[in-house]
Amino acid sequence: MEKRSKATQIYGYAICLVAVITFIICLAALVSAVFNLTDPIKSRSLYNREKSPSLASFENYKMDLTLALKEGQQLPDDPTLERMFEAAKTDIMQSVQFQARRDISVDIIIILVAILLFFTHWRWMRRLIRAEAD
């Protein structure tokens, strides 16, 4: 009987430990997603910056496109470039905001499950210890 009791205790405490580790990891991811949501342009780590022009300002965007021109290519006029810049900026912002909202939702759900698992198993372990003491 004591062998079974030890295995039960190990299981209970292991679940509690996993729940705490999961909570900490998801909390860090949640904070990161909140930062991404507050400033999508600066947090576009989801995208390869080397292949896409900077969206920090129109001037940076234009400069990056100018530097990427191949011989014989011409840059579109400024009004067209501004429309391209605004479209690219809007697309990146919407994509990062969607990803951040999705990450926040998933992290909150996992945090709630981890809390539920922790407290359920912790209370169960306390009851087992009290029952063994009696």
pLDDT tens for residues 55-107? 888 999 999 888 888 888 888 999 999 999 999 999 989 999 999 999 999 99
Q: What is the tens place of the pLDDT at every residue in 62-72? A: 998 888 888 88
Please give the mean pLDDT across all residues of the chain.
89
In this prediction, residue 102 carries a pLDDT of 97
Q: Which residue has the higher pLDDT, 23 or 43?
A: 23
First-to-last C-alpha distance (Å) of the chain: 15
pLDDT of residue 25: 98
pTM: 0.79
Which residue's structure tokens are 């003491």? 133
**99 close to 46: Cβ distance less than 8 angstroms:** yes
* Domain with 118 in it: 2-133
Query: In this structure, what DSSP letter does residue 43 have?
Result: T
**Domains in the chain, number:** 1
